Chain A
Amino acid sequence: MQSKRGFVLLIPLFVVALIAAGAAFGYYYFVVNKPAKVETRTATTTEVSPKQFFLSVINPVDGVLVTEKKLLVIGTSLPDTVVVIYTDDSEVSTQSDKDGRFSGQIDLIEGLNSLTVTAFGEADEETSVSMDVVYNKDS
C-alpha cells in the first residue's frame, strides 16, 4: 500500500521534471542557441571595361549550398553574347537575349562543384567568373 502511494507521488514529480526539461530545451534552442543570421552576398561581376564588355552572374553565388541536382545559372552580358557554363562533369552553352540576359541549366555532382561561366564578346573579348557550388541532397 505504502509503495503504491509512493509511486503515485512519484509520477507528478516526473511529469513536472519532464515539463521543466522541455522548457529548458526550448529556452536553450530558441534563445541561447539562436541561429545566426544568414549572410547575404552580392552577385559576382567582372567588367573588362565599363560600358563595354561585361559578365555578371546573378545566380548562383560563390560558396552556396544547394539541395537540387540541377542548377539554373542566370546572368547578364551584352546582347547576343555566347556564354559557356561548365563544371568538371557538365557543360552547357547559351546566348544572351536582346537585353543581355542569359540562363543555362547544369547538372551538379554531390559535393564540391567548381563552376565556371565564360562569356565571349564580338571583338574577341573573353571574361570568366569561377565559383564553388556545393550540392548536398541531405541538407
Chain B
Amino acid sequence: MKYLLTLLIALVLSNFLVTTVVAKEKPSEVTVGKVEKINGNRLKVGLTDILMDLKTKVVGRKIKLDSKVAVVSELATRSGNLKKALKIFVKEGTPSGQLKRRAVQGVITGISGNVITLAHQTKQERKFNVLMDSQTIIKSKNSASGSAALVVGVRIVAMGTPTEAGLLAKLIHVIPGKATGVFRKNPVSTSSATVSATPTP
C-alpha cells in the first residue's frame, strides 16, 4: 500500500514537472502586420488568422482595424494557419503634427547660433536647417567630437525629428576629408557663414 502511494505521488510529480518544463520551452514566433479583420476573438493580420483567448496579453493601445500589430504566438502547427496569440503589441502611432524621424546629409553652408544650414552637394538648391540643442551628440569617425568640428564646408549627416524650423538633431556625424571630387565639381557658397557653431542648451 505504502509503495503504491509513493509510486503514485512520484508519477504525479514527474508529470507536473514535465508539463511545466515543456510549457516554458515552447517556442514562439511573431507576426507583424496591419489588422485586416476583427471577428470576436479572431483577428486577421495580413494573411494570418490569429486566435485570442483570456490569456492573451495586449500591450499598447486598443486593437482596431488598420492598427499595426506584432503578434507573439506559439509556433504554427500543422493544423492550418490559425495561430494562438500569447501577446499582442499594438504600435503607438506618431502624435499628430509630429513627423517621422529621418536622417539627412549635406555640406554646411552657414552656421548661426544653434542653426546649421545644409546644402545638398549635387542639388544645391535643396537647402535645409538643422537645429542643435544640449542633447545633440556630435560624432566624427567612430568617436565623440565637439561642436568645433562643425565648420562651413564640412559634410555632415544629421539624424533627428523634423520640426517646422528644421530637423532637430539628436545626432550629427561629421564626415572627415571626404567627397573631394564632388566639392571640386560643385563648390559650396560660404559668403554668409560664420566660423563655428555654438550650440545652446
> Are B87 and A80 in contact, with the CB atoms below 8 A?
no
Interface of chain B, helix or strand or loop or mixed? mixed
Which of under 10, 10 to 19, 20 to 34, or 35 or more describes the interface residues of B?
Answer: 35 or more
Complex Cα gap A88–B95 (Å):
12
- How many residue pairs, one in A and one in B, have C-beta atoms under 8 Å apart? 123
| Residue B179, interface by CB 8 Å | yes
Contacts A122-B182, A123-B179; is A33 near B68 (CB within 8 Å)? no
> Are B72 and A93 in contact, with the CB atoms below 8 A?
no
One of A41-49, A50-58, A69-77, A131-139 contacting the partner: A131-139
Nearest CB of chain B from residue A125's CB, rounded to whole Å: 10
Interface of chain A, helix or strand or loop or mixed? mixed
> Are A38 and B120 in contact, with the CB atoms below 8 A?
no
Residue positions of B touching A, CB distance < 8 A: 1, 4-5, 7-8, 11-12, 15, 18-19, 22, 27-32, 59-60, 68-70, 72, 75-79, 87, 89, 91, 94, 101, 103, 105, 120-122, 139, 141-142, 157, 159, 170-171, 173, 175, 178-179, 181-182
Residue positions of A touching B, CB distance < 8 A: 8, 11-12, 14-15, 18-19, 21-22, 25, 29, 32-36, 38, 63-65, 80, 82, 84, 86, 88, 91-95, 110-112, 116, 118, 120, 122-124, 126, 132, 134, 136, 138-139
